[in-house]
Structure 1
Amino acid sequence: MNSTDPKEYLTRREIPQLFEGLLNGLMYYRPEDPVDYLESCLQKVRELGGSEKVKWDTFVGPDKRNLPPLNGGQARRSFFRNVLPESCNFPYRRYDRLPPIHQFSIESDTDLSETAELIEEYEVFDPSRPHPKIILVIGGPGSGKGTQSLKIAERYGFEYISVGELLRKKIHNTSSNRKWSLIAKIITTGELAPQETTITEIKQKLMQIPDSEGIVIDGFPRDVAQALSFEDQICTPDLVVFLACDNHKLKERLLKRAEQQGRPDDNLKAIQRRLMNFKQNAVPLVSYFQEKGLIITFDADRDEEEVFDDISAAVDNKLFPAKEPVAGPSELDLSLILDAGEGAESTSDFEDQSEDIAPHSFGDDYLREELKKTKVIFVLGGPASGKGSQCEKLAHKYNLTYVYVADLLQNELTATSERSKLIKDLMQHGNPVPMDIILEILKDSISSSLGSTKGFLLDGFPCELRQAEEFECQLCTPHLVLYLDCPAEIMTTRVVRRSKVSHRNEVTTENVKRRLQIFYQGMEPLLTYYETKALLCKVSAERSPDQVFLQLCTSMDSLF
């Protein structure tokens, strides 16, 4: 058997597509006798005319075709991990990885994950050798990431990867593909491409250059979730370069680039959305890398040669310690990200250029009037009831802005404002954050997205009746309240299991029960309040995530 036989055989026979269909059927129906069920499926394959006729939903049933592919579970990934056994003389087994094999792609109009689960199981770099030095270059749109990344790659003889160019090239080369057409629309509106797709493209590119001394990756990650995926599936970077630039400078550069290059994602609304996404994600992302001691921050408002000189000194210090140490900037100046401080430019200066784009901050009367034109949905539920994951899916499906109050407070703590100092002081003394401050933060978050969203999905708010009444008084009455009803025993088990995975030994069954007791004390009168207003929809959260999502969508469809 020659080295290409296994790959050619699997591809020619459409084996990955067959396995995907079988696994989706198993995960949906969960038959008592899986062997008997698989035998019936294989008989259906013969009747259809072979494995090439199988699709992801072939074994789900015609009445369930509106379901998304059930392809996110560990069972499927574990299954594919064993598709190529150790005994197979596959040339890349010594790397425990596969080369870029585009013909393995499991294409589906409704599945954006591509071969993410397949590729995820293989190491990108040869584990028997040191991996190339990895430098990530991040910053706002127009901060000079591309220019500086190319300069770094040229100076040190590293390979250069532009994630934006990777995606744009793939979109151009597969313009007739429905999935990539959808991704093109997502990027054109200023949103981030699906995470699984982006990681897959990066991994395939990296596997084409395994012998490089170093690699500079421009424009990735864009948020903490992408950073975690990169570390989990590829490696921990050796250095992260952050180019901090105020909004006024970013605005000028983007408008100039739009005139010169005409990139599809440089339209006015997309630029506004990209700036807003950057503003929301930058602080937690930079803080994450700061905690790991990986990031160095540079003022990118200056001349590009000045910036590059500082970057070169920092790279020499960090990656080539044998050289004489040179001092370089290292601390993040938060004022370069946040619109705080006297005279600071905010994105509102930029947004005012379009009457379709709402200003950054509003008076309460104006805000209440604007909220009448959109939808506000509360999603309530206890710890580990699944609110977060369901909110993310709902926000994506209905083009809503997902607002998680806990994240807003965490982001506020990284700011340098007087409000941030007050919150820190209160928390240090064990005092709760006053409701007025929480509502101020919520108003700021909602104001920043007005005019560019169909509505707002508030996760975990309100927690008690008084918060609900105050929200209605100052903002609006919600259009729908979704409650993920999950038994206390199941939530306790989930929280304890999750804490063990994250090695949080302080989380015990007893303190979870106390936490749930407090939750129910605030929740019971709140649910009664919304029930009397005919706004409450209870959904059983002990079912599978996909079943819960379908129930939630049934309620949401009545609003849209």
Structure 2
Amino acid sequence: MPDNPNFPYRRYDRLPPIHQFSIESDTDLSETAELIEEYEVFDPTRPRPKIILVIGGPGSGKGTQSLKIAERYGFEYISVGELLRKKIHNTSSNRKWSLIAKIITTGELAPQETTITEIKQRLMQIPDEEGIVIDGFPRDVAQAISFEDQICTPDLVVFLACSNQRLKERLLKRAEQQGRPDDNLKATQRRLTNFKQNAVPLVKYFQEKGLIITFDADRDEEEVFYDISLAVDNKIFTHKEAMAGSNELDHSLIMDSGDMLDTEFDFEDQADDQSSFSGYENTGGFTGDLRQSTIIFVIGGPGSGKGTQCEQLAQKYGFVHLSIHDLLQQESSSLSERSKLIKDILECGEQVPGEIILELMKEAMVTSLGETKGFLIDGYPQEVKQAEEFEEMVGEPKLVLCMDCSAETMSSRLLTKSQSCECFDDNAETIRQQIEIYYQATEPVIAYYEKKTQLCKINAEGTPEEVFLQACTSVDLFLKKEAAASSFSAEIQ
């Protein structure tokens, strides 16, 4: 974007990025939950405690095995689910935590930044522990990345592989015995679907780091714990005498549980809720196809004309145009459980969590697979973390178009639109704030893609026709390169 010494908004470059989809309310900004981000969790002058993460589907026995590990090795036990439920109970009148309660009760994941903050606060309360076992975290790759960025790299990740049938039996039994609010039928189905969608990329992420060991959790809990103990002895306490028995682990279990990931759900009354969850059922097997798709991000400030350009580019090249605003509107008009959740969040004046935005986007892309030549994604990502999460869950964009437009031009266009459109009532101060937020949040994104050589800046100062011509030139050049690379690859083969 052009430098302008008379324009003040670039002075905020050193501020932390704005979490555009954060559920945090304005009143929370002064609370410890926000200020804690500025501090190291562990004292760098002292040995860091060993960290073991225990993950698996709901009902896989994570809590039981985590407690056993903690007791055997004298470690502290942390249940992330209990942390959140306790906070919800103690702050039931707080608007933010009331929303999080709804999210959890419907089977969705709690907002990532909130969960990480709660874990950090708990860890800072127990600085003298030799080791810590964390039960039920992370749930997806984005949470894993945030944990490593804000806390540390775990010493070991224990993954409990369990068949769908066994998971469902255990969850229904637990619902009868404990009556937890998140063990209702719809939430249980949603949590299983979430797990099914996120398990493969999460395990793969930790596999590539050499941190994860997988165990068959369909067996008796004592058998499972015996194998886990062998692994912990060998991985973390190599100086200790191992338990009697073989130290060889059956690594064929790692993501070899096809029934766990591929079996369709057969809950009673599922047909009544098909509209709510069918989108998730269809996303699991299409990740590979999405990664091969032509994905183009189009970013730009408010008033830069990115929406107009996306519509014209989609028509010219046969692409599907996706925008966050349209996706939220479409979902809000449906009758799904997630629609009710989104409406509640928006009615309270909060921003929709990034995890939900990413899910909506992935579902929309899966729906159009095979019927489009590519995807134009408008106004996303809005921060580097979103870019990284998209790459993990969906794939890398092949091209990023940046509508490069001065603040003066954007402000002038928005003011003109405000004066000519009764439904668009932004004043000069509101517009100034919108542009300021854009600069602060997006400049790191632009730098991120510039390093990857995927970014192409389009001078968006001209007329829509002039800008469209530039955009077409960039897309044509990209498509030619893609065709040439494909042809070269075919010749080699």
TM exceeding 0.5: yes
Other structure's SS at 1:217 match: strand
Taking a change above 3 Å as real, the CA distance of residues 399 and 161 of structure 1, as seen in their structure-2 partners, is farther
Q: 1:361 and 1:184 mapped to 2: Cα distance?
A: 20
Q: Deviations over 1:127-164 (max 9, x none)?
A: 11221000000000000000000000000000000000
Taking a change above 3 Å as real, the CA distance of residues 329 and 187 of structure 1, as seen in their structure-2 partners, is same
Q: Deviations over 1:216-252 (max 9, x none)?
A: 0000000000000000000000000000101110000
Q: 1:459 and 1:360 mapped to 2: Cα distance?
A: 12
1:517 aligns with 2:445: no
Q: Select 1:357's aligned residue among 269, 273, 276.
A: 273
**Match in the other structure for 2:255:** 334
Task: For 1:189, give the aligned amino acid.
Answer: T
Task: For 1:122, give the aligned amino acid.
Answer: Y
Q: Deviations over 1:163-214 (max 9, x none)?
A: 0000000000111111111110110000011111100000000000011000
- The offset of 1:385, in angstroms, is 2.8
Q: Which residues in structure 2 correspond to 1:80-479 (within 5 Å)?
A: 108=25, 115=32, 117-323=34-240, 326-336=247-257, 345-347=263-265, 349-350=266-267, 352-358=268-274, 382-383=296-297, 385=299, 400=331, 453-454=338-339, 457=361, 461=365, 467-468=371-372
Q: 1:496 and 1:261 mapped to 2: Cα distance?
A: 49
Taking a change above 3 Å as real, the CA distance of residues 494 and 152 of structure 1, as seen in their structure-2 partners, is closer
For structure 2, the residue ranges without an aligned partner over 5 or more in a row are: 283-293, 301-305, 307-320, 340-358, 381-399, 406-442, 458-470, 482-493
Q: Quick check: 2:106–2:337 contact (8 Å CA) kept in 1?
A: no
Q: Quick check: 2:161–2:260 contact (8 Å CA) kept in 1?
A: no
Taking a change above 3 Å as real, the CA distance of residues 174 and 231 of structure 1, as seen in their structure-2 partners, is same
Task: For 1:467, give the aligned amino acid.
Answer: E
Other structure's SS at 1:334 match: coil
Higher normalized helix content (fraction of residues): 2
Q: Quick check: 1:151–1:308 contact (8 Å CA) kept in 2?
A: yes
Task: For 1:353, give the aligned amino acid.
Answer: D
- The offset of 1:262, in angstroms, is 0.2
Task: For 1:346, give the aligned amino acid.
Answer: E
Task: For 1:145, give the aligned amino acid.
Answer: K
Q: Quick check: 1:77–1:118 contact (8 Å CA) kept in 2?
A: no
- The offset of 1:322, in angstroms, is 1.9
Taking a change above 3 Å as real, the CA distance of residues 273 and 465 of structure 1, as seen in their structure-2 partners, is closer
Taking a change above 3 Å as real, the CA distance of residues 160 and 345 of structure 1, as seen in their structure-2 partners, is same
- The offset of 1:119, in angstroms, is 1.7
Q: 1:355 and 1:382 mapped to 2: Cα distance?
A: 36
Taking a change above 3 Å as real, the CA distance of residues 197 and 398 of structure 1, as seen in their structure-2 partners, is farther
Taking a change above 3 Å as real, the CA distance of residues 346 and 489 of structure 1, as seen in their structure-2 partners, is closer
**Match in the other structure for 2:448:** 498
Q: 1:111 and 1:31 mapped to 2: Cα distance?
A: 33
For structure 1, the residue ranges without an aligned partner over 5 or more in a row are: 1-29, 38-72, 80-105, 368-379, 402-448, 472-480, 523-560
Taking a change above 3 Å as real, the CA distance of residues 275 and 211 of structure 1, as seen in their structure-2 partners, is same
Task: For 1:358, give the aligned amino acid.
Answer: Q
**Match in the other structure for 1:407:** none
Taking a change above 3 Å as real, the CA distance of residues 124 and 453 of structure 1, as seen in their structure-2 partners, is closer
Q: Deviations over 1:304-339 (max 9, x none)?
A: 000000000000000011235622234544342666
Q: RMSD of aligned C-alpha atoms?
A: 4.8
Q: 1:516 and 1:332 mapped to 2: Cα distance?
A: 44
Task: For 2:48, give the aligned amino acid.
Answer: H
Taking a change above 3 Å as real, the CA distance of residues 316 and 77 of structure 1, as seen in their structure-2 partners, is same
- The offset of 1:122, in angstroms, is 1.1
Structure with larger RCO (C-alpha < 8 A, sep 6+) = 2
Q: Quick check: 2:58–2:171 contact (8 Å CA) kept in 1?
A: yes
Q: Quick check: 2:298–2:403 contact (8 Å CA) kept in 1?
A: no
Taking a change above 3 Å as real, the CA distance of residues 451 and 306 of structure 1, as seen in their structure-2 partners, is same
Deviates more, 1:112-121 or 1:310-319: 112-121
- The offset of 1:77, in angstroms, is 3.9
Other structure's SS at 1:221 match: coil
**Match in the other structure for 1:68:** none
Q: 1:513 and 1:317 mapped to 2: Cα distance?
A: 58
Other structure's SS at 2:137 match: coil
Taking a change above 3 Å as real, the CA distance of residues 338 and 209 of structure 1, as seen in their structure-2 partners, is same
Q: Quick check: 2:295–2:374 contact (8 Å CA) kept in 1?
A: no
Q: Quick check: 2:80–2:137 contact (8 Å CA) kept in 1?
A: yes
Q: Deviations over 1:69-97 (max 9, x none)?
A: xxxx8744499xxxxxxxxxxxxxxxxxx
Q: 1:286 and 1:381 mapped to 2: Cα distance?
A: 25
Q: Deviations over 1:247-271 (max 9, x none)?
A: 1100000000000000000000000
Task: For 1:497, give the aligned amino acid.
Answer: A
Task: For 2:40, give the aligned amino acid.
Answer: E
Q: 2:401 and 2:108 mapped to 1: Cα distance?
A: 36
Q: Percent identity?
A: 62
Q: 2:30 and 2:207 mapped to 1: Cα distance?
A: 30
Q: Deviations over 1:468-514 (max 9, x none)?
A: 4999xxxxxxxxx98559865759x988731566xx5x76979x999
Taking a change above 3 Å as real, the CA distance of residues 329 and 470 of structure 1, as seen in their structure-2 partners, is closer
Taking a change above 3 Å as real, the CA distance of residues 254 and 176 of structure 1, as seen in their structure-2 partners, is same
Q: Quick check: 2:297–2:378 contact (8 Å CA) kept in 1?
A: no
Taking a change above 3 Å as real, the CA distance of residues 255 and 361 of structure 1, as seen in their structure-2 partners, is closer
Q: How many residues align?
A: 346
**Match in the other structure for 1:3:** none
Q: Quick check: 1:296–1:331 contact (8 Å CA) kept in 2?
A: no
